C-alpha cells in the first residue's frame, strides 16, 4: 500500500446465519452484501448449525463477488481480507475463514482475523468519520451484554457485563413464550408497540451491581407471570407483557451507559450489537444523550445485527495497527473480548 492511500479492505462474516461481505476504503463503506439463511432457520425455531454451514458454503462466493462488483473494486486492488474467526458456530466460521485465507493467500495480501464482538463495536466507526477513543460503548447482542470503555482503537476495558443471559437471548426466550417466531427480538418489539408497560417486573440490578446485568431473573418472572395467568384461566395481554419486558430489559442499559460516561468523563458514547436495532432503545439512548450533552454514535439498524461492514471496519483498525494473522489461524467457538 502506498503511504497516505486509504486501505481498501474486504470484510467477510459467517459466524451464525448471515453470510456477508463488504468493502471499505478508509472508513468509507463501498459495498455491503448479505445473504441470510434466517428464513430457512425460522422453520426450525432457531439456528441449526449444519444448515448454517451448508448455507454459507452455497452463498460465500456469490456474496464476495457481489461486494467487489458493487464497490467497483477489483480483487487485485484489495489491501487485506478481514474475516470473523470467532466467536460463533465452528462449522459456519470455517466457511468464511477458509474462503478468506484462500483469497488473501492467492492475492499475496494480509489476512486479518476479527473477533466478531470487536466488529459489533467497530460498526460505529463507519457512522462517524471523526470518532476516536476515548468513549464508552454499550454492547447488547444475542450472546453479549456489556458496557466498555474504549481507551484506544484496540484497547477496551470491560466495565461490566451480564452475569447470566445476554439481552438478545432474553428477548428471544421471552418472544418464544409469547408464541412469536424466530428471530424473536424484532417481533417482540413490534408487539410491544401495541401494549403498555403496566406489569410489575423485577428491576434488574438497577441501583446495584455496578455495570453488571442479570437477565435470567427477569426472564423467569415473565415466564411465571404467563404460566400463572394461564393456570388460573385469567385474561392477560401479550402486548402488555412484551412492553413491560422491553422496558425492564432496556431501561437499565440506558441508565448504566449514562453512569459509565459520567464516571469515565467521556463526551462520546457508542453502541453495537443486534439489540441496538431496537427502536425503543435507540430513542431512549438518544434522549439520554441529548439531556446529558453527550455525542451518541449509533450504527444504522442493519449494522447492529450481524453484517460484514463491521468486520471490515474492525479490519481497518487492525490494519492500521499492523495486527495481521497467520494463515494457521483457526476458528474459535468462544473468544474473549480482549
Ligand atoms: N429490534 C430488536 N429488538 C430487540 N432485540 C433485537 C432486535 N433486533 C435483533 N435483536 C436481537 O439481537 C440478537 C441478534 O444480534 P446479533 O446478530 O448481534 O447476535 P449474535 O451474533 O447471535 O450474538 P453475538 O453477536 O453476541 O455473538 C438476537 O437475540 C435478536 O433477538
Ligand atoms: Mg453478532
Tell me if 189 CB under 6 Å of ligand 1. yes
For residue 175, report the distance from its CA to the centre of ligand 1, in Å.
13
Contact in structure between 238 and 149 (CB atoms under 8 Å): no
CA dihedral 41, 47, 50, 56 (to 10 degrees): 70
The CA distance from 22 to 310, in Å, is: 9
Q: Do 257 and 267 share a structural domain? A: yes
Q: Which residues pair with 135 in a beta bridge?
A: 150
Q: How far is CA 138 from CA 66, 102, 120, 256, 277, in A?
A: 32, 35, 10, 9, 12
Q: Is residue 271 part of a domain?
A: yes
Instruction: State how many domains the chain has.
Output: 2
Of the residues 42, 138, 185, 187, which should be mutated to test ligand 1's pocket, given the most ligand atoms within 8 Å of the CB?
185
If asked whether residues 136 and 276 sit together in one domain, one would say: yes
> Which residue range(s) make up the domain with 200?
132-302
Q: Same structural domain for residues 61 and 153? A: no
Residue 328 domain-assigned?
Answer: no
Judge if 167 and 209 occupy the same domain: yes
What confidence tens digit (pLDDT) does each residue in 255-272 have?
999 999 999 999 999 999
- Specify if 17 maps to a domain: yes
| CA atoms of 113 and 329, how far apart (whole Å) | 7
142 and 280 share a domain? yes
Asked whether residue 313 is assigned to any structural domain, the reply reads: yes
Shared-domain flag, residues 298 and 308:
no
Same domain, 192 and 256: yes
Quick one: which atom of ligand 1 is closest to the CA of 168?
29
Grid cell digits, residue 160: 461490566
With CA atoms as reference, report the closest residue to 15 among 117, 69, 90: 90
**Is it the case that residue 40 has pLDDT exceeding 80?**
yes
97 and 202 fall within a common domain: no
pLDDT recorded at residue 1: 46
CB 214 less than 6 A from any atom of ligand 1: no
**Which numbered ligand comes closest to the C-alpha of 139?**
1
Does residue 236 lie within any of the structural domains? Answer: yes
pLDDT in tens, 114-167: 999 999 999 999 999 999 999 999 999 999 999 999 999 999 999 999 999 999
Residue 230 lies in a domain: yes
CA distance 133 to 151: 6
Pick the residue whose CA is nearest to atom 18 on ligand 1.
274
Q: Would the CB of 171 count as within 6 Å of ligand 1? A: yes
| Domain-located, residue 338 | no
**Is position 127 within any domain?**
no
Query: Is residue 293 domain-shared with residue 311, that is, in the same domain?
Result: no
Q: Does residue 278 share a domain with residue 162? A: yes
What separation in Å is there between the alpha carbon of 1 and the centre of ligand 2? 31
Whether 298 has a pLDDT exceeding 50, the answer reads: yes
pLDDT in tens, 219-233: 999 999 999 999 999
Residue 309: CATH number of its domain: 3.30.420.40
Q: Are residues 67 and 38 in the same domain?
A: yes
Instruction: Please check the confidence at residue 205 and state whether its pLDDT lies above 80.
Output: no
* CB-ligand 1 contact for 278 (6 Å cutoff): yes
Give yes or no for a contact between 269 and 120, defined as CB atoms under 8 angstroms apart. no
84 and 146 both lie in a single domain: no
From 121, 129, 127, select the one nearest 156 (Cα to Cα): 121
Query: Would you say the CB of residue 86 lies under 6 angstroms from ligand 1?
Result: no
What is the per-residue pLDDT for 202?
81
Amino acid at each position: 500500500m502506498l503511504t497516505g492511500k486509504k486501505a481498501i479492505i474486504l470484510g467477510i462474516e459467517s459466524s451464525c446465519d448471515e453470510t456477508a461481505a463488504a468493502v471499505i476504503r478508509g472508513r468509507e463503506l463501498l459495498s455491503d452484501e448479505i445473504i441470510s439463511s434466517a428464513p430457512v432457520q425460522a422453520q426450525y425455531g432457531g439456528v441449526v448449525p449444519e444448515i448454517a454451514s451448508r448455507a454459507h458454503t452455497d452463498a460465500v462466493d456469490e456474496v464476495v463477488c457481489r461486494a467487489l462488483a458493487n464497490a467497483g473494486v477489483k480483487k487485485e486492488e484489495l489491501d487485506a481480507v478481514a474475516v470473523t474467526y470467532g466467536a460463533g458456530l465452528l462449522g459456519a466460521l470455517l466457511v468464511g475463514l477458509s474462503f478468506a485465507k484462500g483469497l488473501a493467500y492467492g492475492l499475496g495480501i494480509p489476512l486479518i482475523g476479527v473477533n466478531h464482538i470487536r466488529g459489533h463495536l467497530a460498526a460505529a466507526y463507519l457512522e462517524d468519520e471523526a470518532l476516536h477513543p476515548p468513549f464508552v460503548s454499550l454492547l447488547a447482542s444475542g450472546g453479549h451484554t456489556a458496557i466498555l470503555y474504549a481507551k484506544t482503537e484496540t484497547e477496551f476495558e470491560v466495565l461490566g457485563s451480564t452475569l447470566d443471559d445476554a439481552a438478545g437471548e432474553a428477548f428471544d426466550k421471552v418472544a418464544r413464550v409469547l408464541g412469536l417466531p424466530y428471530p424473536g427480538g424484532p417481533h417482540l418489539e413490534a408487539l410491544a408497540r401495541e401494549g403498555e408497560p403496566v406489569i410489575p417486573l423485577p428491576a434488574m440490578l438497577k441501583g446495584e451491581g455496578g455495570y453488571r446485568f442479570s437477565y435470567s431473573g427477569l426472564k423467569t418472572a415473565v415466564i411465571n407471570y404467563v404460566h400463572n395467568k394461564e393456570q388460573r384461566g385469567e385474561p392477560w395481554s401479550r402486548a402488555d407483557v412484551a412492553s413491560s419486558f422491553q422496558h425492564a430489559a432496556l431501561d437499565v442499559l440506558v441508565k448504566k451507559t449514562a453512569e459509565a460516561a459520567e464516571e469515565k468523563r467521556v463526551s462520546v458514547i457508542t453502541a453495537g450489537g443486534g439489540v441496538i436495532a431496537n427502536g425503543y432503545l435507540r430513542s431512549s439512548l438518544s434522549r439520554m444523550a441529548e439531556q446529558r450533552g453527550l455525542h451518541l454514535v449509533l450504527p444504522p439498524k442493519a449494522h447492529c445485527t450481524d453484517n460484514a461492514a463491521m468486520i471490515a471496519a474492525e479490519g481497518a483498525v487492525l490494519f492500521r495497527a499492523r495486527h495481521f494473522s497467520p494463515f494457521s489461524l483457526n476458528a474459535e467457538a468462544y473468544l474473549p473480548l480482549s
